[in-house]
Amino acid sequence: MGVAFQIASIVMSVILVVLIMLQVKGGSLGGLLGGDVGGGIARTRRGLEKTLFQFTVGLSITFIIICILSVIYN
């Protein structure tokens, strides 16, 4: 059962990295690393961007739960 949790956590981590990279707005390396703040203007997420954000949050919570279960059952 521990191997299944490890495989699930690896797959979920790769998916999380892809989802987070899809949310990056800045085209430059500074935007990727957080250097391009955008002048402090907050924007509201809408449509696909909001759905992608909510899916990322849900997947990250599931990833944390899988990792905790992996430690408990290992």
pTM of the model: 0.71
d(CA 2, CA 72) in angstroms, rounded, equals 9
pLDDT of 14 > 90? The answer is yes
- DSSP letter at 27 equals S
d(CA 73, CA 22) in angstroms, rounded, equals 33
Residue-wise pLDDT for 37-67, tens only, equals 555 566 677 888 889 999 999 999 999 999 9
What rounded mean pLDDT belongs to the chain? 82
Residues 59, 16 contacting (CB under 8 angstroms)? yes
Residues 23, 53 contacting (CB under 8 angstroms)? yes
